[in-house]
Amino acid sequence: MGPHFSQPRSYGTNTLRVQRLAGALLALFCALTPVTGVKAAERPLNIVVLGDSLSAGFGLPLEQAFPAKLAAALKAKGVVATITNAGVSGDTASGGLVRLDWSVPDGTDAVIVELGANDALRGLDPSVTKTALDAILRKLTARHITVLLAGMRAPPNMGTDYARAFDGIYPALASTHPVVFYPFFLDGVAADPKLNQGDGLHPSAAGVEAIVALILPRVEELIARARAARPS
């Protein structure tokens, strides 16, 4: 009788072990499934750079323009993002407003607004520039799109009164809109012949690299806000 009972006992123990192992695996699967699901749902952020020739990459191959270099810098930090170059050479703030709806399509998570340099070069009334930028920011906010506002400064030859009025546009807007603010898009690059093309106005490839390096922390803040604003 001994051998008759020992075999079932051995079989029962193995069954129990299998059941316990299966239970452990099921618990592990359940624990991991929500995390995996969240990662799968995290589609790449869609970022549009709404700007002029400074961000469009005037005089440079597209792969050396600001949007492409910014995408590469983010990728190097493990940030997945699709960055669209919506820069138009010669565009003013008012021009950006006119084309806003088709330049920033549905599904856009964030926009980097880089406009105003041509307004200053042409000596346009700063109030016109401010009104156009204000409308852009209002429209993007109404669409629940996170914004980084890149500031601009007037050329020195425009005079101190004009420069004071123009330069004040961007901090004033940043104080009244929920934007990430980068005070001067050409910070560290403007007027440096080593970082600009022959015209002295447009950044060279090295200049674009310098811009990206300086603005990157603000772009990371933009991305963090855009992710937080996504529906759960």
pLDDT digits (tens, 9 = 90+) for 195-210: 999 999 999 999 999 9
pLDDT band at 43 (very low <50, low <70, confident <90, very high): confident
Q: Quick check: 39 pLDDT over 60?
A: no
Is 103's pLDDT higher than 80? yes
pLDDT at 42: 67
Predicted confidence band of residue 4 (pLDDT cuts 50, 70, 90) = very low
pLDDT of 25 reads 42
Cα 31–chain centre separation: 32
Q: What is the pLDDT of residues 19-29, one digit of tens each?
A: 444 444 444 44
Mean pLDDT throughout 216-230?
96
Greater pLDDT, 18 or 228: 228
**pLDDT exceeds cutoff 80 at 91:** yes
Alpha-carbon gap, residue 12 to 193, rounded angstroms: 83
With bands split at pLDDT 50, 70 and 90, how would you rate the model's confidence at 231? confident
Report the chain's mean pLDDT, rounded to a whole number: 87
- pLDDT of res. 5: 31
Catalytic residues: 53, 199, 202
Lowest-confidence pick of 26-30, 92-96, 211-215: 26-30
Q: Which of 36-45, 72-81, 160-169 is least confident?
A: 36-45
Confidence band of 158 (pLDDT split at 50, 70, 90): very high
